[in-house]
Amino acid sequence: MKLLANGLQIEVDDTGGEGRPVALLIMGLGMQLVGWPQDFVQALVDAGFRVVRHDNRDIGLSQGFDHAGTGNIVWESIRQRLGLQVRSAYTLQDMARDSLGVLDALGIKQAHVIGASMGGMIAQHLAAEAPDRVASLVSIMSSSGARGLPGPRSDVAAMLLRRPLGGGEAELVAHSIRLLRIIQSPAYPQSTEALAERLRFSMRRAYRPAGMFRQMLAIGADARRPEVLPRIKCPTLVLHGEADALVPMACGLDTAKRIPGAKFVSIPGMGHDLPPEICAILAHHIAPFLHAAEEHHKP
Domains (range + CATH), the chain: 2-149+208-297 (3.40.50.1820)
pLDDT by residue (tens digit) across 64-89? 999 887 776 665 565 666 566 677 78
The 10s digit of each residue's pLDDT in 224-245 is: 999 999 999 999 999 999 999 9
The fraction of the chain above a pLDDT of 90, given in percent, is: 83
pLDDT at 84: 63
Each residue's pLDDT tens digit, 119-131: 999 999 999 999 9
Cα 232 to Cα 159, 224, 228: the distances in Å are 34, 14, 8
Q: Which residue has the higher pLDDT, 159 or 296?
A: 159
Which are the contacts of 174, defined by CB distance < 8 A and separation ≥ 6?
164, 165
Q: How confident is the model at residue 153 (pLDDT cuts 50, 70, 90)?
A: very high
pLDDT category, 251, cuts 50, 70, 90?
very high
Phi-psi sector, 269: left (phi>0), alpha (psi -120 to 50), beta:
left
Given a contact cutoff of 8 angstroms between Cβ atoms, the answer to whether 180 and 242 are in contact is no
* Residue 106 in this model has a pLDDT that exceeds 90: yes
Q: Dihedral through CA 112, CA 118, CA 124, CA 130, nearest 10? A: -70
Instruction: Dump strand ranges (E) for the chain.
Output: 2-5, 8-14, 22-26, 50-54, 111-116, 134-140, 236-241, 263-267
Residue 105 CB partners (closer than 8 Å, separation 6+): 3, 4, 5, 10, 12
pLDDT at residue 205 above 60?
yes
- Quick: pLDDT tens for 156-181: 989 988 888 888 999 999 999 999 99
**Average pLDDT score, the chain:** 93
Which pLDDT score is estimated for 83?
67
Please say whether the dihedral angle defined by the alpha carbons of residues 245, 246, 248 and 249, taken in this order, is positive or negative. negative
